Structure 1
Amino acid sequence: MVRLALRLDRVRLSVWVLIIGVLPATTAAQYLDLYPTREALEQVTGVISNPSLVAINGPLFAAGSIGALTAWKILVTEIILVGLMAILTVIRHSRTEEETGRLELLSAGVLGRYAPLTAALLTAGVASVGAGLVATLGLLGTDQPAAGAVALGAAIALSGLFFAAVAAVAAQLTESARSATAIAVSVLGAAYLLRAVGDAGPTWASWVSPVGWAMRLRAFADEQWWTLALLAALATIAVGAAYLLNGRRDLGAGLVPQRPGPAQAEPALRSPFALAWRLHRGLLIGWLIGMAVWGGVLGGSAKGIGDAKLDNAKIADLLSRLGGSAAIVDAYLGAVLGITGLVVAAYTVQATLRLRGEEAAGRLEPLLATRTRRVQWALSHLAFAVVGTALLLAVAGAAGGLAYGSQIGDVGGQTWALLGAALVQAPAAWVLAGIGAALFGLAPRFAGLTWAALVLCLLVLEIGEILGLSQWIVDASPFAHVPKLPGAAFTAAPLLWLTVAAAGLATAGLTAFRRRDIG
């Protein structure tokens, strides 16, 4: 089973491991060029230690250290990426195999009950440890201290192992791979938010977050190795729970049973759009709650960056020339909303790929046997990708505006300002929906590559400037063309072109879908 999983994922996992493993070394190499002296490093510490920036990336545990600066910049991103890799790998080789019926065929041979789950965990574990090992070797290649390099690699590896265990538990709870993935990713998002709240405010919140434990290892800053035991212990407990739950359910079933539906559909369900709403509503409602919390937390931390007292005279002078604290707050909000756009784009991809999920599961053919038209059915799902994306961004922007506006006594003004600043991210996310629709129509087997497009956009945002990437590479990301509101001037042309591109890609996909075979 392990050999089969590695065979199926040989390309996918290789790309994941290389991206996750190489990022720390490339970031450290670029920082060595940007900050060649200790004085240059110390000048940047005043801004980095601001609570608002700490909420995004975490605290900088050691000033004047390239390794510590690299850990501050990249470790949260690494944890998120390795967590996603582990979650998707475990779900793919456990719950997805059950849902499609392939595992039942394999179980007809000489296959133990726990073999599929064990193989999925081992595959994700090998990939996580591989990513941590590559990261460690890369940092050693840039002449960083060995202890810090090993600590950062260990934090990456153990984070992957922990979220693999979380995915294993989620796979036992539900019959749907999508639901299991949503549960596991929600745990990842909640862990990040707890870490952000704890690092910017009450410290205890960081200590109840697995992401916070990985950060508190303090790579390149008097490493606290005992925090690894916390991650290892919780991962072990989660794995034990997954095996226990696996032994108490039937093959193909989940511990949380699905409620049987009525024998006849209600009149409200007798249209493709109504069915799409029924299928998407749980995911959308969960995302709406999450984005309301996300926007409130990040908007509430914005005031701190304007109130920061910077001891470094050069930085204080630079901020003054840039426009004072108001300009810095706008820059912070623009950066946060840019990250929010990428986060919401994950929902956009999920909603779009529901098209392929319904087809692969065999539920599309019975629908098309009725009077339902192909394009009508596809548009009913794409509507939730488009409208749902805009709605999530609006909720995040409004929540951020309410939180920030209540602190500075301008609720109305800030709510509308951040609402608009969030909504301008929608066309960029729609481009990813267009890519997903195009792949679904033209090459349905490769529709999952839409996730790769999102990961590339994330990498360009996080480290594109640090790595000094060519402008044409940066411009390949649709999010590079979004106005950085509220600080920058609003320009409608890029948003119009992004919308046109998304519509063109979707049209190409729907046209091809009309002509190809189902399945």
Structure 2
Amino acid sequence: MSTATATKAPAPAGSRTGGGALAGTGTLIRFDLRRDRVRLPVWIVALFLGTVSTANNYKTLYADPEDRASVVTTMDSPAGLAMTGPRHYLDDYNFGAMLGHQMLGFMAVMVALMSVLIVARHTRDEEETGRAELVRSAAVGRHAHLAAALTVAAVANVVLALLLAVGLGGLGIDGIDGGGSLLYGFAHAAVGLTFAAVAAVTLQITAHTRGASGMALAVIGIAYVLRAAGDAGGNDALSWLSPIGWAQRTYAYVDNRWWPLLLCLLLAGLCAAAGFVLSTRRDVGAGLRASRLGSPVASDALSRPLGFALRLHRGMLIGFGAGLFLMGAMYGSILGDAEDMLKNIDQIQEALEEIGGATMAESFASMVMIIIAVVASVYVVMAALRPRSEETGGRAEPLLATGLSRTRWVGSHLAVAMTGGTALLVLAGLGFGLSGAASASDGGLFLALLGAALAYAPALWVTVGVAVVLFGWFPRASAAAWIVPVYAFVVGYLGRLLQFPAWMNNISPFGHVPQLPAAEMSWTPMAVLTLLAAGLVWVGLEGFRSRDLETK
């Protein structure tokens, strides 16, 4: 007699873990935090220190009530309000109101950028590289990746909010109290959560990380423009269409209103829910927007290394170009008010006197040019390191297996980085020149400001050279190229205000650029920087030619 043995069918993956569509979320959260163990602390500490140091500087720069009253007079203009925030902060312009007015809108953009990059990195980038499909073949639910990414973004924002609350509240500065600091910190977190959820929607639309991030960044730009237009024109309806406007209308340190943050949380919840729903309507690795059918035959440009590299960089180049043109136009709009705005601030006056210049507008423009050049250098670092991402993504190996030489392949990306960076300076100079000449009622400023922007091109080329040297000889340390733009901003802009030693500025390639339009043009440093850039590029290319290619 035989006995039948019943075999119980294995439970579904989701049942084994008890998570269903969210199975494995906890493990992915720990994994994402592990991957971002350096990236997230750098973001959080940089944003925290930037805010705290600014608050401390306010106490020094605007020590007297007369100084703050002078700032109120200057800020109470369309251009001033567009650059800062709503006018209500100006009614009682203590140090807390000044911090909320001048910093909250700017820092909200930075927090939104951090949140978008976190979500895109741990969702769409995982799908694009094929890792998400591999992970989801195990006991991992459909929504686990997105849920984990949103949770990591939420953790980063809440940690930043608590640090700001404790750090600012402990400064002991008049007008910056504990309750206002807590609201100020969580206003950042609310904006960050909102745009993390926006990214959860945009990443469902396209199959590419850069496209998803670009759409989310465009939403951030629209939100900022709506806020700026509403505050400048006195049209609150426009500002209330922007999450950044909602955060500013908490009036931290003034009225301490918490309820506008509920609007941010409501929008974040709706967008996150939409992201989860939309993710069920597409396949892993695909997007809701169907890819356009291309031509069966590649164009002549795409069949050449330079044309193909330009196609890869096109979206990022267009985005930076639009942003820098707008940035230049916004700074130019306050150029005519620079003298009234800064006349009572001793530290800035000293910095501007060190720069020189026939007028305050010229000195101020020279200082602003450093900021514009640093933003352009962010693009050139990203573009110069694109070959590294192509290599680690396994896309360089099949290209170089053909007759394409390593030098031509890397050189095409470097050519786009260098010419693209120069084009960005031209666009920024055009925006700054057109707006600045109109604001200062001086048509001669247009060409002067355009030339001042172009003067930084050799410094951008040196930045590209540093990046290619690291890529060629020390590929695992390629991210160290970001030190160049960060250091240039710290010593070139903040260093003048904080009176850093002159030798620190000389280490940066941006420190050797003539301070146009305030200073006279000097061609020697321009030639030296150009030769240095050429030498660095050659050294980097030699390193890449002599090392092994990272393969998959």
TM-score bracket, shorter-length normalisation? 0.7 to 0.9
The structural deviation recorded for 1:456 is 4.8
1:117 corresponds to which of 112, 121, 146:
146
Q: Does the C-alpha gap of structure 1 residues 309 and 509 become closer, same or farther in structure 2, counting only changes over 3 Å?
A: closer
2:369 corresponds to which of 337, 349, 358:
337
1:164 is matched with 196
Mean Cα displacement is larger for which, 221-230 or 105-114? 221-230
1:506 is matched with 537
Q: Does 1:383 align with 2:410?
A: no
2:385 is matched with 353
The residue type equivalent to 2:280 in the other structure is G
Q: Does the C-alpha gap of structure 1 residues 115 and 264 become closer, same or farther in structure 2, counting only changes over 3 Å?
A: same
2:452 corresponds to which of 418, 421, 424:
421
Q: Does the C-alpha gap of structure 1 residues 188 and 429 become closer, same or farther in structure 2, counting only changes over 3 Å?
A: farther
Q: Does the C-alpha gap of structure 1 residues 293 and 49 become closer, same or farther in structure 2, counting only changes over 3 Å?
A: same
Distance 1:334 1:452 in 2: 22
1:288–1:395 Cα contact (<8 Å) kept: yes
Q: Secondary structure at the match of 2:404?
A: coil
Q: Does 1:269 align with 2:313?
A: no
1:440 is matched with 471
Q: Does 1:299 align with 2:332?
A: yes
Q: Does 1:210 align with 2:243?
A: yes
The residue type equivalent to 1:517 in the other structure is D
2:62–2:345 Cα contact (<8 Å) kept: no
Distance 1:476 1:220 in 2: 40
1:27–1:466 Cα contact (<8 Å) kept: no
Q: Secondary structure at the match of 1:356?
A: helix
Q: Does the C-alpha gap of structure 1 residues 501 and 309 become closer, same or farther in structure 2, counting only changes over 3 Å?
A: closer
Q: Does the C-alpha gap of structure 1 residues 288 and 29 become closer, same or farther in structure 2, counting only changes over 3 Å?
A: closer
Distance 1:125 1:351 in 2: 29
Q: TM-score, normalised by structure 2?
A: 0.82
Distance 2:223 2:484 in 1: 24
Q: Secondary structure at the match of 1:266?
A: coil
Q: Does 1:13 align with 2:40?
A: yes
Cα distance per residue 1:88-145 (max 9 Å; x no partner): 2111111111111111111111000000011011111101111111111101110231
1:227 corresponds to which of 257, 260, 264:
260
1:27 corresponds to which of 29, 54, 57:
54
5 Å-filtered alignment, 1:111-510, equals 111-143=140-172, 144-204=176-236, 205-305=238-338, 327-406=359-438, 411=443, 413-451=444-482, 453-460=484-491, 463-465=494-496, 469=500, 471-510=502-541
Q: Secondary structure at the match of 2:38?
A: helix
Mean Cα displacement is larger for which, 154-163 or 488-497? 488-497
The residue type equivalent to 2:161 in the other structure is G
Q: Does 1:82 align with 2:111?
A: yes
Q: Does the C-alpha gap of structure 1 residues 424 and 311 become closer, same or farther in structure 2, counting only changes over 3 Å?
A: closer
The structural deviation recorded for 1:477 is 4.5
Distance 1:206 1:496 in 2: 47
2:74–2:341 Cα contact (<8 Å) kept: no
The residue type equivalent to 2:522 in the other structure is T
Distance 1:499 1:73 in 2: 38
1:3 is matched with 30
2:130 is matched with 101
Distance 1:56 1:501 in 2: 37
Q: Does the C-alpha gap of structure 1 residues 13 and 216 become closer, same or farther in structure 2, counting only changes over 3 Å?
A: same
The unaligned stretches of length 5 or more in structure 1 are none
The structural deviation recorded for 1:311 is 12
Q: TM-score, normalised by structure 1?
A: 0.87
1:69 is matched with 98
Q: Secondary structure at the match of 1:514?
A: helix
Distance 1:34 1:410 in 2: 29
Q: Does the C-alpha gap of structure 1 residues 157 and 500 become closer, same or farther in structure 2, counting only changes over 3 Å?
A: farther
Distance 2:324 2:129 in 1: 32
Distance 2:91 2:461 in 1: 40
Q: Does the C-alpha gap of structure 1 residues 149 and 330 become closer, same or farther in structure 2, counting only changes over 3 Å?
A: same
Distance 1:243 1:177 in 2: 17
Distance 2:371 2:111 in 1: 18
Q: Does the C-alpha gap of structure 1 residues 431 and 122 become closer, same or farther in structure 2, counting only changes over 3 Å?
A: farther
Distance 1:71 1:462 in 2: 22
Q: Secondary structure at the match of 2:359?
A: helix
The residue type equivalent to 2:51 in the other structure is P
2:370–2:489 Cα contact (<8 Å) kept: no
2:455–2:514 Cα contact (<8 Å) kept: yes
The residue type equivalent to 1:414 in the other structure is L
The structural deviation recorded for 1:166 is 2.3
Q: Secondary structure at the match of 1:208?
A: coil
The residue type equivalent to 2:158 in the other structure is V
The residue type equivalent to 2:284 in the other structure is L
Cα distance per residue 1:4-34 (max 9 Å; x no partner): 0011111221121122123322332343344
Q: How many aligned residue pairs are there?
A: 516
The structural deviation recorded for 1:275 is 1.4
1:46–1:310 Cα contact (<8 Å) kept: no
Q: Secondary structure at the match of 1:415?
A: helix
Distance 1:449 1:429 in 2: 16
The unaligned stretches of length 5 or more in structure 2 are 1-27
Q: Does the C-alpha gap of structure 1 residues 261 and 287 become closer, same or farther in structure 2, counting only changes over 3 Å?
A: same
1:41–1:63 Cα contact (<8 Å) kept: no
Distance 1:290 1:140 in 2: 34
2:165–2:182 Cα contact (<8 Å) kept: yes
1:217–1:223 Cα contact (<8 Å) kept: yes
Distance 1:361 1:310 in 2: 49
Distance 2:241 2:73 in 1: 27
2:74–2:337 Cα contact (<8 Å) kept: no
Distance 2:321 2:278 in 1: 30
Distance 1:127 1:314 in 2: 37
Q: Does the C-alpha gap of structure 1 residues 431 and 80 become closer, same or farther in structure 2, counting only changes over 3 Å?
A: farther
Q: Secondary structure at the match of 1:253?
A: coil
The structural deviation recorded for 1:356 is 1.8
Is the radius of gyration larger for structure 1 or structure 2? 2
